[in-house]
């Protein structure tokens, strides 16, 4: 018996495909060195294990996904890699209603946002992340400061909503600066208290004036017991089921033009748990897109 799976949705040509898939295998500039650059290949490998049929909705995924390959950034530092990532992501965004940008570390988020428009006053950013990503820029770009870099680029805090911030994983200065910039900050404790649906609703309301929205799925937002393959993941993080709900809900909003997956370090998990979570991320994004 055949097993319809996500790999069946991949096409090489972008003709007629509503979704684009872009790999950004960036490893340079990570606070914790690792192998996040292996994630795009690992995601493609696991797709055959993720089925198309959603038993909860009674629907089978059908949206075609144009695999545009990986940005040619092998061995590059972040500053040098930013342009090729941005240009491939921009090419995809110009062809497809939704682009899935697979990092690599979290530094790929900035060129992803830039790919949606030169006027950052019109672009929104929603992060699912345990961290503010507001580290200082004095030592250059890194995976710990894409949000601060975007603010320095001219993105107003009124366009930034951050969900899942973890205790004992951020500094007081970062928190203060995020609030001062006007970012909407929703901690993991608030998600636990009020529910993930309320968090997503609040985030979308905050960036509701934006013409295009980027969603940054830093996979370390998930509880480390459910996602061991992320160096920044902590115990007590977001439940995987809440993460999946968030991705599907956000992908259903037509203003969301790009969703990234970052900070997955495949060799860090000796089991297949993390890869299956990453594959489910893609299925949820497609399922959400098909509700538009």
Query: How far apart, in whole angstroms, are the C-alpha atoms of residue 233 and residue 262?
Result: 12
E-state strands within the chain: 10-11, 19-24, 53-54, 59-60, 65-70, 98-103, 123-128, 160-165, 184-187, 212-218, 256-262
Has residue 277 got a pLDDT over 80? yes
b (16+ CB within 10 A) / e for 166-187? beebbeeebbebbeebebbbbb
Give the pLDDT score at 16.
86
Query: How far apart, in whole angstroms, are the C-alpha atoms of residue 3 and residue 6?
Result: 10
Q: pLDDT digits over 3-58, tens only? A: 899 999 999 877 789 999 999 999 998 998 899 999 999 999 999 999 999 999 99
Question: CB of 276 within 8 A of CB of 234?
Answer: no
Query: How far apart, in whole angstroms, are the C-alpha atoms of residue 292 and residue 153?
Result: 31
pTM of the model: 0.98
Query: How far apart, in whole angstroms, are the C-alpha atoms of residue 106 and residue 236?
Result: 21
pLDDT band at 1 (very low <50, low <70, confident <90, very high): low
Residue 170, domain member (yes or no): yes
Angle (deg, nearest 10), helices 273-289 and 39-46: 80
Has residue 170 got a pLDDT over 70? yes
Residue 1, domain member (yes or no): no
Residue 154, domain member (yes or no): yes
Q: pLDDT digits over 102-159, tens only? A: 999 999 999 999 999 999 999 999 999 999 999 999 999 999 999 999 999 999 999 9
Alpha helices in 96-195 (DSSP H): 109-114, 146-153, 172-181, 188-194
Query: How far apart, in whole angstroms, are the C-alpha atoms of residue 150 and residue 259?
Result: 16
Query: How far apart, in whole angstroms, are the C-alpha atoms of residue 82 and residue 89?
Result: 11
Overall number of domains in the chain: 1
Q: Residue written as tokens 């608030």?
A: 190
Residue 215 is part of which domain span? 6-289
Residue 86, domain member (yes or no): yes
Query: How far apart, in whole angstroms, are the C-alpha atoms of residue 230 and residue 251?
Result: 23
Q: pLDDT digits over 93-116, tens only? A: 999 999 999 999 999 999 999 999
Residue 222, domain member (yes or no): yes
Q: What is the CATH number of the domain that holds 261?
A: 3.40.800.10
Give the pLDDT score at 151.
98
């Amino acid at each position: 018996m055949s097993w319809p799976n996500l790999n069946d949705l991949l096409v090489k040509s972008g003709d007629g495909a509503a979704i684009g898939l872009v790999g950004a295998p960036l490893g340079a500039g990570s606070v914790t060195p690792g192998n996040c650059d292996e994630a795009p290949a690992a995601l493609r490998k696991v797709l055959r294990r993720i089925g198309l049929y959603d038993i909860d909705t009674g629907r089978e995924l059908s949206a075609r996904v144009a695999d545009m390959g990986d940005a040619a950034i092998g061995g590059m530092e972040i500053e040098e890699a930013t342009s090729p990532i941005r240009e491939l992501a921009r090419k995809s965004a110009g062809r497809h209603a939704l682009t899935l940008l697979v990092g690599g570390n979290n530094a790929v988020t900035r060129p992803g946002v830039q790919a949606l428009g030169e006027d950052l006053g019109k672009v929104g950013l929603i992060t699912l992340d345990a961290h503010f990503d507001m580290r200082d820029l004095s030592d250059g770009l890194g995976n710990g400061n894409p949000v601060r870099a975007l603010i320095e680029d001219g993105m107003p805090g009124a366009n930034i909503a951050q969900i899942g911030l973890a205790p004992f994983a951020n500094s007081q200065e970062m928190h203060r600066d995020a609030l001062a910039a006007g970012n909407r900050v929703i901690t993991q404790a608030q998600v636990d208290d009020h529910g993930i649906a309320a968090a997503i609703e609040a985030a979308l309301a905050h960036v509701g004036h934006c013409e295009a929205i980027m969603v940054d799925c830093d996979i370390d937002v998930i509880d480390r017991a459910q996602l061991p393959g992320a160096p920044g993941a902590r115990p007590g993080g977001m439940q995987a089921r809440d993460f999946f709900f968030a991705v599907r809900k956000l992908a259903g909003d037509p203003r969301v033009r790009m969703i990234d997956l970052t900070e997955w370090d495949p060799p860090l998990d000796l089991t297949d748990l993390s890869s299956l979570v990453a594959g489910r991320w893609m299925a949820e994004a497609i399922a959400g897109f098909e509700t538009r």
